[in-house]
Amino acid sequence: MTTITTTIWQEVPEPANPYAAQVARCHGYDVYGEMLGHAGWADMVFLLLTGERPDTRQKAMLESLAVALANPGPRDPAVHAAMCGGVSGSPAAACLTAALAVGAGGAGGAREVHRAVSAWHASRGEVGALAAELARVVAEPAIETWPAAEVWPGFDAHSPVCPLPVLRTLDYLAPLSPGAALVTLQQGRQTLETGAGRGLAMTGVAAAAYVDLGMSPDQAEMLHLLLRLPGAAAHALEQAKLGFQKFPWGELELLDDPMRKSSRNDCLAEVES
Amino acid sequence: MIPTHPLDAYTGPIRTRMGAAIGGERAVFRGYDLHRDLRDIHWVELLFFGVTGKRYSPSEIRICNALLTFTSYPDPRIWNNRIAALGGTSRTTGNLAVAAAQAASEAVLFGGQSFYRALDFLFRARAHCDTGGDLHGFVADDLRRHRAIAGFGRPRINEDERVAPMLALLAEEGFDDGPFLRLARRIEEILLTGRWRYRMNYAGLAAAVCGDLGLTPEQYSLVSFPAFPCGMFPCYLEAREKPAGAVMPVTCVAMKYIGASPRHWA
């Protein structure tokens, strides 16, 4: 018989069906007997990930963070990936899988958040130490399949500009926050941006928010993937309706065209060499 | 004036050396006409060529093919295969199930991440030895820092049944004495004679072979992508033959709960 060990979920079976729960408890709370109707979505997500229900400030911050992250818009590669699935009639799960896989990356995605949260924890929230740790992530890439970070995690891949939505999110969340990271980020932003040579990005704000919510890098990465899915879903559905003729195909410039080689023998010569 | 942005240079046509589908006319794959020049290429060579840009001899392709074949286990207990089987039991599509199982194959305990680390370790060990370093000390130090060495030892059993047949095939092809394979054997000797008792596992052997084929750690993890799906499809299909939910069903009481005691929300 298969046994699963868990600290999260406890079930009491229906008397006539051992495979159906009559009572289900999440970290001790009766989900259908007490939480339903009294707990919100943020309560449930926070409880699942951390084992404790959020307090008022944690809940408010998580709800606002979820609004800020829900839709990075169709220019975002993760959303664009979901749209590719939607426009071509892929299953809904494939669209979200596309968004998850592309949005998992180290440039604007959940791996970047993981690295930034790791840096916050390693630096204990002091700006100078944080800057050193973020620089170290770039200078000493980990041995992993993830491509190495090219810029400080939490900062724009290219631009020195911190966009207004990022600033507004930071300014709104910081006073709500039960922790110190967002306020530290607010106060040290310009110092950090100078060090990074880039503007603060939404990943940087999100990372500080996860730190203030008491999350580990792994928890933050998982939650970040989750929170960015609604926009991907909506845009995938929209493109499915609009159809492929309204979806960009793109132009291509082929730099290595066998037609430009004088003959097939040129190709074969390359094969033999 | 709005300053130029580094991405401005990329807003035009996608410039690519990799290929194109020229609709209704032809297709190009890394500088070759796919339907003319690569018509008879072995699929495994196309995979390796796509990743490395290099062409391989029939002997090398036989080895590459075996590297992938030898890991194709249709055993639904194995974690990635189980995802495919659970997809079958939940009646999702086969390709979604296997796609998810494939994604999960980029794991630390097996699969993509362990592949990468195994060859990276050999690269670092070789560089250390090339500069006159002591291999024994390098191995001990790496083990101390990372608590494990990818490519040696196995999570559930130490022996790896794939190693002997792969070594036999390598011997048949005269490919069993490359510098990375020799290095991997020296490391195995160190790990066997020490207190660790770790044998070279299949990821370590395949890493050494791929190193001798000139692949980087990233290229090794990429070409290994089809190392598992041939075993996954049977797991999915057999699950489909059984009643829904019949793959490793768990009763409510079979969940061993070790969490917080019941408490009130209100």
Q: Which residues pair with B200 in a beta bridge?
A: B152
> Looking at residues B211-219, what average pLDDT do you find?
97
Q: Which helix (H) or strand (E) covers residue B192, if one does?
A: helix B179-193
Distance CA B212, CA B249 (A): 45
**Digit-coded pLDDT (tens) for B27-81:** 999 999 999 999 999 999 999 999 999 999 999 999 999 999 999 999 999 999 9
- How many angstroms separate the CA of residue A1 from the nearest CA in chain B? 8
**Digit-coded pLDDT (tens) for A60-89:** 999 999 999 999 999 999 999 999 999 999
Cα–Cα distances (Å) from A214 to A51, A178, A209, B160, B234, in that order, read 11, 9, 9, 42, 43
Amino acid at A93: A
Q: How far apart are the first and last CA of chain B?
A: 58
Distance CA B35, CA B37 (A): 6
Number of helices (H), then strands (E), in chain B: 11, 5
Tell me what pLDDT residue B216 has. Answer: 97
- How many angstroms separate the CA of residue B150 from the nearest CA in chain A? 11
Tell me what pLDDT residue A268 has. Answer: 52
Distance CA B164, CA A50 (A): 46
Max CA pair span of chain B: 72
Q: Which residue from A83, A102, A103, A80 is spatially nearest to A92, judged by alpha carbons?
A: A83
Distance CA A137, CA A103 (A): 20
Cβ-Cβ pairs closer than 8 A, A with B, add up to 150
Burial track A231-243 (b if 16+ CB lie within 10 A, e otherwise): bbbbbbeebbeee
The DSSP code sequence of chain A is ---EEESSEEEEEETTEEEEEEEEEETTEEIIIIITTT--HHHHHHHHHHSS---HHHHHHHHHHHHHHS---TTSHHHHHHHHHHHTT--HHHHHHHHHHHTTSTTTSHHHHHHHHHHHHHHTT-HHHHHHHHHHHHHS--SSSSPPPSS-TTB-SS-S---HHHHHHHHHHHHH-SSSHHHHHHHHHHHHHHHHTS-B-HHHHHHHHHHHTT--HHHHHHHHHHHTHHHHHHHHHHHHHH-GGGS----EEESS-GGGSS-HHHHHHHHH-
For B217, the token pair is: 């750690």
Q: Write the residue in B14, B254, B256 that is nearest to A253 by C-beta.
A: B14
Q: Which residues pair with A23 in a beta bridge?
A: A12
Distance CA A170, CA A224 (A): 16
Query: How distant is the alpha carbon of residue A108 from its chain centre?
Result: 8
Is the pLDDT at A262 greater than 70? The verdict is no
For A150, the token pair is: 């090219």
Is the pLDDT at A110 greater than 50? The verdict is yes
Reported pTM: 0.93
Q: Which residues pair with A5 in a beta bridge?
A: B256
Q: In what order do the strands lie in the sheet with B32-33?
A: B19-22, B26-29, B32-33
Q: Can you tell me which residue has the tokens 């406890």?
A: A10
* Chain B stretch 5-44, residues whose beta carbon is closer than 8 A to a beta carbon of chain A: 5-7, 12-20, 26, 28, 30-33, 36-37
For B156, the token pair is: 């559930």
Instruction: Work out whether strand A17-26 and strand B255-257 pair parallel, antiparallel, or are unpaired.
Output: unpaired
**Digit-coded pLDDT (tens) for A114-136:** 999 999 999 988 999 999 999 99
Cβ neighbours of A253 in B, within 8 Å: 12-16
Please give the residue that has the higher pLDDT: either A273 or A187.
Answer: A187
**Digit-coded pLDDT (tens) for B93-146:** 999 999 999 999 999 988 999 999 999 999 999 999 999 999 999 999 999 988
Is the pLDDT at A266 greater than 90? The verdict is no
Cα–Cα distances (Å) from B66 to A84, B98, B167, B173, B178, in that order, read 35, 21, 11, 12, 17
> Among B109, B251, B256, which would you mutate to test the A interface (most chain A Cβ atoms within 10 Å of its Cβ)?
B251
Distance CA A22, CA A33 (A): 10
3-state secondary structure of B91: coil
Q: Write the residue in A10, A13, A29 that is nearest to B257 by C-beta.
A: A10
Tally of residues, chain A: 273
- A175-189, B149-163, B165-179, B225-239: least confidently modelled range: B149-163
What ipTM goes with this model? 0.92
Distance CA A240, CA B116 (A): 37
* Chain A stretch 79-98, residues whose beta carbon is closer than 8 A to a beta carbon of chain B: 91, 93-94, 97
Alpha-carbon torsion angle A155, A157, A161, A162, nearest 10: -40
- How many angstroms separate the CA of residue A111 from the nearest CA in chain B? 14
Tell me what pLDDT residue A273 has. Answer: 46
Instruction: Work out whether strand A9-14 and strand A17-26 pair parallel, antiparallel, or are unpaired.
Output: antiparallel
Q: Say if A168 is an interface residue toward chain B (CB within 8 Å).
A: no
> Looking at residues B231-259, what average pLDDT do you find?
97
Is the pLDDT at A271 greater than 60? The verdict is no
